[in-house]
Amino acid sequence: MRINTAKNVYYCHRCNESGNSITLYAKLTGTDNKTAYRELTDGNIISSAAITRKRITDIERVPLHLPGRHAVYLGLLQSLELSEKHRISLVNRGLDDAVIERNLYRTVPGVAAASRITKELAEHFALTGVPGFYTKNDIWRMALHKGFFIPVRSIEGLIQGLQVRLDDEKRRKYRWFSSNNRENGTPAHSWIHMANSGGNSVFITEGALKANVAAHLSGDCFIGLSGANCINGLVPLLHDMGITKVYEAFDMDKNANNNVAASVSKLHRRLAETGIDCIPCTWDATYNGIDDFLLNNIG
């Protein structure tokens, strides 16, 4: 079992249990977290001040595989619904109802529903180390933003993390479901999304949603990066897949935006250095994204 006393967390490799000193004590004594906290602090086994100091430090992320992040996120999404407004938005992007349901897009809940659902999740899962969840006054809560959840999946189809497609696009379109800098909070990571891993060709584009739409419309395999610069982990993933050639399909503003162009060039160089051919894709610039182009030029 691995114990990190600086961050007040543990993880058991044999049984895949994880949490902090309170959840470990509760597990061993058969009590709930509130009782464990009271017994530990009242008995001076640990001080409440020490717990408070450690809470402001981000907790290490728990592993992906069961019963890790995937199980928690799956439980969360299965407890939510998709609003009609968000469903229509996804249909307009080229997805049908079957694909929308299969991808588990869900509307971020309001405060009351979020409190109820988080309480239910905390009764079944250890939320410590799961990005998007944190505590306040010893009660587990979730970070809320108006929009809908987009599951970001691994090559095995497991949910690594969640992105939120924001309703208000004035400042940004997407943000991670993350709880960094909060009590018992955990930061998200720029996970790489895999869409339709059974395709014959591999395309790389920006964003999980864009990758899902393009994969659905084309039938090809799409890898969605959270940004043109977010390529950490990409080469190992391609090598694990046995890929020696990919098609780069970033938005067409790469021809006009110097920052995007520099990021694309960096991607090409990085792949070339590891023996992977990277072939650029271009299309009618009337359609900035590959998903927009496919939607308007197929069928």
Q: Let me know the angle formed at the C-alpha of 212 by 208 and 218, rounded to the nearest 5 degrees.
A: 140
Q: Is the pLDDT of residue 172 over 70?
A: yes
| Of 24-28, 279-283, 284-288, 292-296, the least confident | 24-28
Whether 22 contacts 34, CB under 8 Å: no
Collapse the DSSP code of 294 into the 3-class scheme (helix H, G, I; strand E, B; otherwise coil) and give the result. helix
Report which of residues 293 and 241 the model is more confident about.
293
Q: Cα separation of 84 and 43, whole Å?
A: 52
Query: What per-residue confidence (pLDDT) applies to 58?
Result: 60
pLDDT digit string (tens) for 272-281? 998 999 999 9
In the chain, the percentage of residues whose pLDDT exceeds 70 is 88
How far is residue 258's CA from residue 142's CA, in Å, rounded to a whole number?
37
Q: What CATH code would you report for 193-297? A: 3.40.1360.10
Question: What average pLDDT does range 289-299 have in this prediction?
Answer: 88
Return the H-helix or E-strand segment holding 2.
strand 2-4
Question: How far is it, in rounded angstroms, from Cα 13 to Cα 58?
Answer: 21
pLDDT digits (tens, 9 = 90+) for 112-134: 999 999 999 999 999 999 999 99
pLDDT (0 to 100) of residue 56: 47
Helix axes 290-297, 208-218, angle to 10 degrees: 30
Which residues make up the CATH 3.40.1360.10 domain(s) of the chain? Answer: 193-297
Q: What phi and psi, each to the nearest 5 degrees, are found at residue 18?
A: -150, 160
* Average pLDDT of the chain, as a whole number: 87
Residue 52 CB contacts under 8 Å (≥ 6 apart), including other chains: none
* Per CATH, domain 69-176 is 3.90.980.10: yes
> Three-class SS of residue 287?
coil
Is the pLDDT at 250 greater than 80? The verdict is: yes
What pLDDT is stored for residue 195 in this prediction?
94
What is the location of CATH 3.90.980.10 in the chain? 69-176
162-190: average pLDDT: 91
Give me the percent of the chain exceeding a pLDDT of 90. 58
**Is the per-residue pLDDT at 31 higher than 50?**
yes
Element (H, E) at 40: helix 33-42
Which tokens sit at 179? 């709880």
Bigger pLDDT: 272 vs 29:
272
What are the tokens at 270?
Answer: 């990085």
pLDDT at 253: 87
Residue 193 predicted with pLDDT over 80: yes
* Amino acid, res. 209: L
Q: How far apart are CA 191 and CA 225, in angstroms?
A: 7
Please give the residue that has the higher pLDDT: either 12 or 265: 265
